Structure 1
Amino acid sequence: MNKKKILVTFIESGFGHITSARAISDRLKAKYGERYDVQDCDIMKDSEKTEEFERFLTRQTQATNKIHGYGFFVFGIMETLGGESFLKFTHKTIFKSFVNATIEAFKNHAPDCIVSTHYFITFCAVEYKKRFAPDCLVVTYNPDNNVHPWWDNRDGIFITNNVYAAEEAVKRRKFNGANIRTVNFTARDDIAACKESKEFFREKYGIDKNAFCVIVADGGYALGKCKKVTDELLKTKKRLTLISVAGKNQKVYDYFISKNVNDNIDFIPLPFMRNVYELYRAADVFITKAGPNSVLDCVLMNTPVIIDYYPHPIEKATKKLFVDKYACGEYIKSPKKIRKRVEEFIDNPSLLSEYAKNTKKFNKECNGADEIADIIDEALGGEK
């Protein structure tokens, strides 16, 4: 008997879409690998045309992180010009060739179900279903904490990770409420399985067990305030272990490793790390821009967060959810004020206790990726 094929799509436009897709794929394979043919697919690597568009999306993501105000400008234009209707217009005109190339990739794979974590893939999947495969199930997991105006609301199951986003999808983005599902936050298998203590990871990475430890990062591209915050923290006279992660930004990494550091600081500059969550666990606090998946991974490791920057409405929603609503940390824009606050934490670590306590309300055992796998199984008919 031929198994139904589930195509879990991966796309680089920031790394949150990738980690969310990985979490879903992990649980689909673990729970239903014998029932379905679950395939991971770097769909944008299918042709030169799709690769070109992925590079374009990556550049836009980097620009929103790097150019102050650009992200809010872009999303404002998208909203003003019609949101989802503007999405359809641009992708059927300006971006038509890229859409068609992606649809051709879907035709080559001939899936029974397409799993997407990115608006462009969802749009192309809905178009593929409309034109060529009416029985194909389109399942979208939105890894953000709000619903931006370019999500396609025409067809398929749309899954959010909080009730506020679900409400926004129906009331503001005009999704059919019957197509909306809400699940717990998703976790990749490696994060869900991580039970080791802070002390364990400090020993693993040679981090002083008695020193206050801060990790600074800005997603995969280090284009936020990572460099400025690192420079400011290196001015402290207090005992500190500082881990600064440059991601895939070689210039920032080279800058970090060239630094001369005072004896009171253990400075650990690092490039991109797939298991960076282990360092989140080792640290006392994580300083970052409001990338939804970076903040989530840190919270799942039970480490408080300082958010220093949100470049567009998606990340503003993350700050509102994890700082204002769930109280897992603080929002501080100024690198100088961040240094002063870290120095207060060094003198009185109990100031972080309530934030750390609040992170423990997020139970990794209640993994939204498990729920998504179940939703897909049910929609495909389950075991008959």
Structure 2
Amino acid sequence: MPKRLVFLFSDTGGGHRSAAEALSNALKVHWGAALETHAVDVFQDYAPPPFNRSAEWYVRATRGKAWEWALSYTFTNYRLGYELYAALVWPYITSAMKRFFREHPADVYVSVHPILSQLVKVLRPQPTPFITVVTDPVTFHRTWCHPQLDLVIVATERARLLARRYGMPDEKVRVIGLPVSEKFSALTEDQAALKHKLGWGEKPGVLIVGGGEGMGPLGKMALAISRARLQCEVAVVCGRNEKLRQRLLATRWNVPVHIYGFAKNMPELMRAADVLVTKAGPGTINEAFIVGRPMLIYSRLPGQEKGNVAQVVEEGAGYFTPTPEKLVEALRGWLGPAGERARLQAAASALRLARPNATAEIVAVLNQYL
């Protein structure tokens, strides 16, 4: 009988699903038919109303006023604030979470979501290993941690120190990296070949992304580049935001532009580009580290994404450019012969921060529990 590993995730941000998929794919390569992996959206499939709509809430909250998200995040990130929240919520959802464990028995549980890591207290005293892989590489919410977890895997030393502050014993925390698809490190085609394959020209390529949902001011940023008539070529990935894609396709541009919907060839697009313009999502940032692309970050969520921006800026891998004007100013400094050296230095800094073997190393740790 094959062993069984269950991932707990929620689509409250694309990074949770993609982390589970990256680890699941790598495990399948190692184990083949000897291991079954299942990824369960626990909120959607098991949580009682209204918590089964958490993904919808997340999109609305993160697209709304930043101070509202900041207030919620900060309040529950204080120990007493979270204890009050837990006292109100857990009695209501515990029976549903017990049903999840009954219907998904496993040899190992792996959470890639903060609140779902707290389900370890529902599982206990059952001794099945329960491991958390934190998908926020620098600053993260306290709910990623619980003393009954067998192991918490983090991406950076700063994250390890934060886990200690949240009460995790040092021996239960491992610094490895962030799990991303191994397609980013496996790509061997050079930049020129990829540009030709994609139908791009020879000008520096600026890739603008906003996650799978096409979140953020992608259109405004692309239009600012066009109005400034910068010497570059622009590619915009709109994700599932079809309304944005149609609007951009109907726009007249002053620079060469390529408009994409939901892209399944992100490794190729990222390696073909010379500069990445993105929100502060941890997955995209770490993918850019692996392919060595400098970044201009246009937005961040208060709380968990603050550290992502700090890491990129402090390590010299890019800038925080929250307005179209700042974006254009930064691109002027990087594009053209005069700015090429600074751009290549930022690219080298990004590559230095890469952990291309993180997924394989996390899988090696999970194998020890199977």
- TM-score by length of structure 2 reads 0.90
Report how far residue 293 of structure 1 moved: 0.7
Aligned amino acid, residue 104 of structure 1: R
CA contact (8 A) 2:9 2:41 kept: yes
- The equivalent of 1:120 in structure 2 is 115
Cα distance between partner residues in 1 of 2:21 and 2:14: 11
1:189-242 alpha-carbon deviations (Å, 9 max, x no partner): 32231222211221121000x212111122223332322212211202233211
In the alignment, does 2:269 pair up with 1:275?
A: no
- The equivalent of 1:158 in structure 2 is 152
Instruction: Give the 3-state SS of the residue equivalent to 2:147 in structure 1.
Output: coil
- The equivalent of 2:300 in structure 1 is 310
Residues 230-249 of structure 1 aligned to structure 2 (within 5 Å): 230-249=222-241
Cα distance between partner residues in 2 of 1:220 and 1:286: 15
Report how far residue 46 of structure 1 moved: 3.5
Cα distance between partner residues in 1 of 2:363 and 2:48: 27
Relative to structure 2, which stretch is displaced further, 328-337 or 51-60?
51-60
- The equivalent of 1:30 in structure 2 is 29
Report how far residue 160 of structure 1 moved: 0.5
Taking structure 1 as reference, are residues 154 and 256 closer, same or farther at Cα in structure 2, changes over 3 Å only?
Answer: same
CA contact (8 A) 1:83 1:150 kept: no
In the alignment, does 2:353 pair up with 1:353?
A: no
Cα distance between partner residues in 2 of 1:65 and 1:149: 23
In the alignment, does 2:302 pair up with 1:298?
A: no
1:75-99 alpha-carbon deviations (Å, 9 max, x no partner): 1221346254245324314xx23x5
**In percent, how many aligned pairs have the same letter?**
21
CA contact (8 A) 2:19 2:112 kept: yes
CA contact (8 A) 1:87 1:150 kept: no
Taking structure 1 as reference, are residues 185 and 36 closer, same or farther at Cα in structure 2, changes over 3 Å only?
Answer: same
CA contact (8 A) 2:118 2:146 kept: no
Report how far residue 113 of structure 1 moved: 1.0
Cα distance between partner residues in 2 of 1:310 and 1:141: 21
Aligned amino acid, residue 165 of structure 1: A
- The equivalent of 1:192 in structure 2 is 185
Cα distance between partner residues in 1 of 2:10 and 2:242: 21
Aligned amino acid, residue 198 of structure 1: Q
Taking structure 1 as reference, are residues 213 and 66 closer, same or farther at Cα in structure 2, changes over 3 Å only?
Answer: farther
In the alignment, does 2:333 pair up with 1:344?
A: yes
Taking structure 1 as reference, are residues 34 and 222 closer, same or farther at Cα in structure 2, changes over 3 Å only?
Answer: closer
Residues 62-77 of structure 1 aligned to structure 2 (within 5 Å): 62-77=60-75
Residues 1-384 of structure 1 aligned to structure 2 (within 5 Å): 2-33=1-32, 35-44=34-43, 46=45, 49=47, 53-80=51-78, 82-93=80-91, 96-97=92-93, 99-124=94-119, 126-130=120-124, 134-145=126-137, 146-156=139-149, 157-170=151-164, 172-208=165-201, 210-262=202-254, 265-324=255-314, 326-347=315-336, 348-362=339-353, 365=356, 367-380=357-370
Report how far residue 286 of structure 1 moved: 0.7
Cα distance between partner residues in 2 of 1:71 and 1:298: 26
Cα distance between partner residues in 2 of 1:91 and 1:226: 36
Cα distance between partner residues in 2 of 1:7 and 1:51: 23
Instruction: Give the 3-state SS of the residue equivalent to 2:228 in structure 1.
Output: coil
Relative to structure 2, which stretch is displaced further, 115-124 or 30-39?
30-39
Aligned amino acid, residue 195 of structure 1: T
Instruction: Give the 3-state SS of the residue equivalent to 2:224 in structure 1.
Output: helix
Relative to structure 2, which stretch is displaced further, 60-69 or 233-242?
60-69
CA contact (8 A) 1:84 1:151 kept: no
Cα distance between partner residues in 1 of 2:247 and 2:362: 41
Cα distance between partner residues in 2 of 1:55 and 1:308: 28
Report how far residue 34 of structure 1 moved: 5.5
1:304-325 alpha-carbon deviations (Å, 9 max, x no partner): 101122121211111112221x
Report how far residue 43 of structure 1 moved: 4.2
CA contact (8 A) 2:132 2:144 kept: no
Where does structure 2 lack aligned partners over 5 or more consecutive residues? none
CA contact (8 A) 2:44 2:54 kept: no
CA contact (8 A) 2:147 2:167 kept: no
| Equivalences, count | 366
Instruction: Give the 3-state SS of the residue equivalent to 1:379 in structure 2.
Output: coil
- TM-score by length of structure 1 reads 0.87
Cα distance between partner residues in 2 of 1:356 and 1:187: 19
